């Protein structure tokens, strides 16, 4: 049995839905389908989820929301009529949107997540109806009925373990099941969405729950490339990689796959294949638990901008018990999550995603660090980028760090931070954002050309 997930661009229009229907019906093992909300049809287009968020925020702010509402209805209406399916489906889709709008109007705390979920819900209703229209046995399955139980964290749901046993029951069903991605329900039946891009998470949860033989994730690229194709022309595709490698790569800039989505599949050791809806015969990229040793120790280069370095120094910090905890406690108190915390003898850097520490919070955090920790210096450096080289076995190989640092040298980019940490599959470098592209290009030359 295969669980197949289709991303936003794969369900963006009636033509795309026709393509995915061919993919689904060409293999009878493809029995459980998870879908995203309609995404972009062309580069300037707007994703339905973004329109829904725009609508919700306008309603909350009490400003005009007619245009966003009109665009959402017209996106779904266009798909339904182009597919030639019964217009009653459109009524169901519209009713769900209207009910969520009412929830927001009445200040119900579930309103926003409920509205955000209408994108994937609409896709699933339409695709299941289209399968039936073509004579296949298609069934829409709501995440509540499927048994996807989550913790109550609006916009950031986390799956509860009970879900997996419930999902296993889906194996009994005979139809092709179409499940909307991106949301689940709390044990007291509140709808909660995952973080953005979270349909990948649903797909992985469902694959783990039904103990699928394969989780296929259809997107709009032939395979995962070893480096961001916006930075390097025609980069090498990756045919196979391990969960751990993908986890590291998707953390820093590999937006092909949600970084939280691997865990459920990984726990059940279900292989994941990333494929292209627009070129389904291409082999794609396989992600598996283990691989025999490969010749290339570095399999990918990930990079992402938008970080800052909170640098703190204090003479004899190494002798002060609890310093690190108290520093991180201040961040916790202020609701700031951190990414890495490399430290020296008398100093410590805390790497934070830029948007997690807006200017007003920055002032509070800096003042508290000065007052409560009596440090010699506290500095915030914004415009940082992280570059990560990734590969199993890399750390047992002599000379990788040396090749990497000489690549930075050749590019004339200063390394602000190096973190090999305890992860055995990656090495991370912090640089100023302006040096990101040339450093990545130089690393690509070193390891892949
Ligand atoms: N539609 C949601 C988003 O745009 C989830 C997804 O597509 O995976 O974030």
Q: Give the three-state DSSP class for 169.
A: helix
Instruction: Tell me which residue of 424, 414, 405, 417 sits closest to 343, measured CA to CA.
Output: 417
Instruction: Tell me which residue of 238, 212, 229 sits closest to 298, measured CA to CA.
Output: 238
Instruction: Tell me which residue of 158, 124, 126 sits closest to 141, measured CA to CA.
Output: 124
Q: Which atom of ligand 1 is nearest to the CA of 8?
A: 7
Better-scored residue on pLDDT, 294 or 357: 357
Name the residue of 16, 180, 181 to mutate for ligand 1: max ligand atoms within 8 A of Cβ: 181
Tell me what the mean pLDDT of segment 32-39 comes to. Answer: 98
What pLDDT, on the 0 to 100 scale, is given for residue 424?
76
Confidence of residue 393 (pLDDT cuts 50, 70, 90): confident
Given the structure tokens 């989820």, which residue do they identify?
Answer: 49
Tell me the C-alpha distance between 197 and 203, whole Å: 11
What pLDDT, on the 0 to 100 scale, is given for residue 389?
94
For ligand 1, atom 6, name the residue with the nearest CA. Answer: 197
For ligand 1, atom 5, name the residue with the nearest CA. Answer: 197
User: CB 363: neighbour CB atoms within 10 A?
Assistant: 10
Q: What are the structural domains of the chain?
A: 2-288 (3.40.1160.10), 300-448 (3.30.2130.10)
Mean pLDDT, rounded, of the chain:
94
CA of 256 from ligand 1 middle (Å) equals 12
Tell me the C-alpha distance between 406 and 420, whole Å: 16
What pLDDT, on the 0 to 100 scale, is given for residue 255?
62
What pLDDT, on the 0 to 100 scale, is given for residue 65?
87
**Cα separations (Å) of 421 from 185, 341, 425?**
36, 9, 10
What tens digit of pLDDT does each residue of 42-76 get?
Answer: 999 999 999 999 999 999 999 988 999 999 999 99
CA of 36 from ligand 1 middle (Å) equals 6
26 DSSP 8-state letter: T
Tell me the C-alpha distance between 267 and 270, whole Å: 8
The 10 Å CB-count burial string (b at 16+, else e) for 304-321 is bebbbbbbbbbeebeeee
Q: Give the three-state DSSP class for 85.
A: coil
What tens digit of pLDDT does each residue of 193-250 get?
Answer: 999 999 999 999 999 999 999 999 999 888 888 998 889 999 999 999 998 898 888 7
What pLDDT, on the 0 to 100 scale, is given for residue 92?
97
Confidence of residue 258 (pLDDT cuts 50, 70, 90): confident
What pLDDT, on the 0 to 100 scale, is given for residue 207?
98
Instruction: Tell me which residue of 416, 420, 422 sits closest to 347, measured CA to CA.
Output: 416
What tens digit of pLDDT does each residue of 100-151 get?
Answer: 999 999 999 999 999 999 999 999 999 999 999 999 999 999 999 999 999 9
């Amino acid at each position: 049995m295969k669980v197949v997930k289709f991303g936003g661009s794969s369900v963006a229009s009636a033509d795309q839905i026709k393509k995915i229907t061919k993919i689904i019906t060409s293999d009878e093992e493809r029995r459980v389908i998870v879908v995203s909300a309609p995404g972009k049809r062309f580069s300037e287009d707007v994703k339905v989820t973004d329109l829904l968020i725009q609508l919700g925020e306008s309603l909350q702010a009490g400003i005009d929301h007619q245009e966003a509402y009109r665009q959402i209805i017209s996106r779904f209406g266009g798909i339904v009529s182009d597919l030639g399916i019964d217009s009653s489906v459109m009524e169901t889709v519209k009713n769900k949107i209207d009910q969520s709008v009412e929830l927001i109007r009445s200040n119900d705390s579930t309103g926003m997540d409920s509205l955000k979920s209408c994108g994937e819900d609409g896709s699933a209703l339409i695709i299941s109806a289209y399968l039936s229209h073509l004579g296949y046995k298609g069934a829409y399955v709501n995440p509540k009925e499927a048994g996807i139980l989550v913790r109550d964290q609006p916009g950031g749901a986390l799956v509860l373990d009970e879900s997996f046993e419930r999902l296993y029951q889906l194996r009994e069903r005979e139809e092709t099941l179409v499940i909307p991605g991106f949301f689940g329900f709390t044990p007291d039946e509140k709808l909660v969405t995952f973080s953005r891009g979270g349909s990948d998470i649903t797909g992985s949860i469902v694959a783990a729950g039904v103990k699928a033989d394969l989780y296929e994730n259809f997107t709009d690229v032939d395979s995962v490339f070893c480096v961001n194709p916006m930075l390097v022309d025609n980069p090498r595709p990756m045919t196979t990689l391990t969960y751990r490698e993908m986890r590291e790569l998707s953390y820093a800039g590999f937006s092909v796959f949600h970084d939280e989505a691997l865990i459920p599949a990984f726990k059940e050791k279900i292989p994941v294949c990333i494929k292209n809806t627009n070129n389904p015969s291409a082999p794609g990229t396989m992600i598996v638990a283990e691989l025999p040793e490969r010749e290339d120790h570095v399999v990918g280069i990930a990079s992402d901008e938008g970080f800052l370095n909170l640098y703190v120094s204090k003479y004899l910090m190494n002798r002060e018990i609890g310093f690190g905890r108290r520093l991180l406690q201040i961040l916790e108190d202020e609701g700031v999550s951190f990414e890495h915390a490399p430290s020296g003898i008398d100093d410590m850097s805390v790497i934070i995603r830029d948007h997690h520490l807006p200017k007003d919070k920055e002032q509070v955090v800096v003042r508290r660090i000065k007052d409560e920790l009596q440090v010699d210096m506290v500095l915030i450096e914004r415009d940082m980028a992280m570059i990560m080289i990734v590969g199993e076995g890399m750390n047992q190989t002599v000379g990788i760090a040396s090749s990497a640092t000489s690549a930075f040298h050749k590019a004339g980019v200063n390394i602000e931070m190096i973190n090999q940490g305890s992860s055995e599959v990656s090495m991370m470098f912090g640089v100023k954002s302006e040096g990101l592209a040339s450093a990545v290009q130089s690393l690509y030359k070193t390891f892949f050309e």
